[in-house]
Structure 1
Amino acid sequence: MSRQTATRTMLVWCPDWPIIAAEIVEGVPARAPVAVLHANRVVASSIAARAEGVRRGLRKRDAQARCPELIVLDQDLGRDARAFEPVVAAVEEIAAGVAILRAGVCAFAARGPARYFGGEEAAAERIVEQIAVECSVEAQIGVAEGTFGALLAARAGRHVPPGRTGEFLAGLPIGHLDRPALTGLLERLGVRTLGGFADLDPSDVMARFGLDGALAQRLAAGRDDRPLAVRRPPPDLAVAERFEDPIERVDVAAFAARSLAEQLAERLAGHGIACTRLAITAITTDGRELHRTWRHEGVLTAVGIADRTRWQLDGWLARRGPTSPSATGGIVALRLSPEGILAQAALQPGLWGEAGDERDRAHRAMHRVQGLLGPTGVLRGVLGGGNDPGARVTLVPWGEEYLPALPDGPWPDRLPSPSPARIMPEPQPVAVLDTDGEPVTVSPRLALSAMPAAVVLAGSAHTIAEWAGPWPTDEHWWDRGRARALLRAQALLDDGRLLLLVVHRGAWLLVADYD
């Protein structure tokens, strides 16, 4: 195995970054007990939360049991990345070739800053000071051979002298490799430190653990010679305009919106990228800043940008009150900034295909209708989570980010696939009869009074070929005003129709079918 020396690397680590990002973007107090969750488990916690015993990997309910006043946030990688961008920009003022490893962590070669500032420690102190002054964010810097050693050095607040990275890593637990399957097996074999893993024969490691194990051994030995994926600083894509005469009327605002939208669309096209999230900022005559972000599913064309800008200006100018723009003299400056961008080639195909005349014609038609009727003139259904099939569909404006009202996830009382094809606008009363023509009832213990034999729909009886259920479900049990208990059942009729029935307060209702 090659003994190539890894590059001396400086790594910036911002502790508890998901918590800090939530404070920067959403104003959540980072000093309070806060936890960020993904898939119902804690992935990050604040210092105050950790003092109460909240740790990574805990379930939400367990974390709240340890800390009842815990503020719970959903993981938002976009939020973390947006908040980290100013930190990276501050580092780039001092160091070149910065690579973002993840939100809250970036790295770069130590040679340049060390030569300029008279040593690695002096350069590290200067960068920490730069981040604190520019971003008011606490950061730690580690210096070692390779990004792996530099990351662990940053967490320990260490500057590892040249050539001593292997010695620094040797005594650290094997779990730092962040490969649970590999490290779990190594611990069962008695290898509990990085140094112990590094001392194994490389050919034996390759034979037993494969290529990934061999690469992990190189990390454990301090021979991380992977090149940094240096990021390209994003171009300044924002467009702005100041107005000699403040904007007070919607028609004037529409003209200004169209002009700026065309400029932004040309700038995006010139870089071969598309806008998925548009930030609109307006300055009023009294110096107040109004800000609103519009999300989009895919490509925001010049028309789409202009429409959303016009809708937003219309909303601001139509606002009533002593602090509204129309009451304070109007809007004197407007800025459009694409906060979310991606390469045109990375866009997912839409309903009418990835490209072509049909797709373009459909998009123009949708934007045209929206331009006439407003942002809610064209709606699209998005399938989300929940137990009630009728509540799983959320209608969102065309072009906006298609996020359901309820996230998809483990819903224990959800009906098995497939979902019903048609939901009744209003539940239809029906009668379920047994073989003697008597109504079928359900006891408190979910026992049927008799086996269902027929369903009466609109006065006509239909024979039941197969029956499944009933299954109990408690909806919105946490909200007394919306809580209701239901029993669900499925009935396959002899004509091939499959019905979804519920029992609510003793009455049978048809709520959906699988036509």
Structure 2
Amino acid sequence: MDWPAVAAAAAVGLPATAPVAVTLANRVIACSSAARSAGVRRGLRRRESQARCPDLHVVAADPSRDARFFERVTVTVDDLVPRAEVLRPGLLVLSVRGAARYFGSEHAAAEKLVDAVAAAQAECQVGIADQLPTAVFAARAGRVIEPGEDAVFLSALSIRQLATEPSLSAPGRDDLVDLLWRMGIRTIGQFAALTRADVVSRFGADALVAHRLARAEPMRGPSGREPLPELDAVMDCDPPIDRIDAAAFAGRSLAGQLHRTLEAGGVGCTRLAIHAVTANGEQLSRVWRCAEPLTEDATADRVRWQLDGWLNRRHAGDRPTAPITSLRLQPVEVVSAGALQLPLWGGAGDDDRLRARRALIRVQGLLGPEAVQIPVLSGGRGPAERITWVPLGDELTPRADPSQPWPGRLPEPSPTVLLDDPVELLDVQGNPVRVTGRGLFSAEPAQLDTPADPGSPARRNGGPSRSGVDLVFAGRLRWWAGPWSVDERWWDPKAEQAGRTARVQVLLESGSAASESGPALLLCYRRSRWYVEGVYE
């Protein structure tokens, strides 16, 4: 976690013992051990950190600088144990099996790695475990976890550890950890003891990932496979690349080419190999690993960081002796689109589904991730509550568990069209009908009318509703059933569905003849007002 501070100190020629802090948005995101000894911590404001340590050297965060100075470490490790993968600048992951067989044991391999990194003028800690996330936590403690003991090791760690490693957590993981802490869940073991259904229904998609991590479940399933050669994206650099601005432009162009190929093949890339060839024939290669499939922007960033690291190595003897003339992006590990998306319609291989997915992805790129959403069956009592809208590409996780009993839930069938337009339910004399505290009508309902407020979105005699569909919301009642009362979330006055709610099914008379039936509606009574919640067809 200190690597951004180590790279910042190396960039300005400060010794490793100097107090250094790296800030983002005026808060410390990394600091050196000397700064930590003086009281500086991650999350402190810049002014407070300088007050605690007057000699503190403060620099702004720069991922390109971190990747550039980390390149010498990756080269050193790669010379000792090939095919090391970069989770982020400062964190490498590799398979220990080959290294353990070569050096005699896992402990011997760890010692060799520590010595090699020390020769590159850096300090490191090594962690070994069955699963990659557990190995990351073990590296913080410098421990070798015995086979099959990952869950035991994780169970004693603080729940706050789930949000400390950015390469293993989503952006909102801090909020999840704070909520768990306030609920009394203080260790990872306590979190792992919860059932998966409870975690998903209460906390969301990222909590499911964290829950699998806490249980030491395999984080990478069998969907990974060797990609086909035609997925590679190749660029001949003319003129050759020897500047960072040219490298950034080339990385953006090549990333776009790669992702068009991946989308056409219906796959996503989770491990990316970046290959380069110089004018003198030198071969450069590096593999980047990501927990989630890489987006086009994420791919472009990694290409730019890697080229920056190659072109600006600290030691002249390690730098390429000539500009880069050829670039190749190779998706080393891919996952099928079916593992990432729920099919919109048709089978997994339908051309219509693939074309629709590509079109929706383009819409998301233009309008943002929330512009395209997929409905997921959720738990709830009303028809609208039983639908959770999830952005396309996110894990299809319901807001609440639909398998729970949900007493008071509206019975089948559900309305065909969902609305939320205000109306007035009246008796024979035209007086408003309300639902009493006993769950009964204050008077027998006889007719339905639009609100008296002329500015209301509902209009009489088929005016436009909020759904954009012309429906008749006024007329005499031919039949009604209910009310069915539910008192829910009374402890949370800010909740939209808080308080007493009652639902009624009504059938209106047709305007043409009293013997004919009009539309069948579902009315909802909440906060002392009536709303058309749905239309039956």
Q: How would you bin the TM-score normalised by the shorter chain?
A: 0.3 to 0.5
User: Scaled by the length of structure 2, what TM-score is found?
Assistant: 0.42
User: Scaled by the length of structure 1, what TM-score is found?
Assistant: 0.44
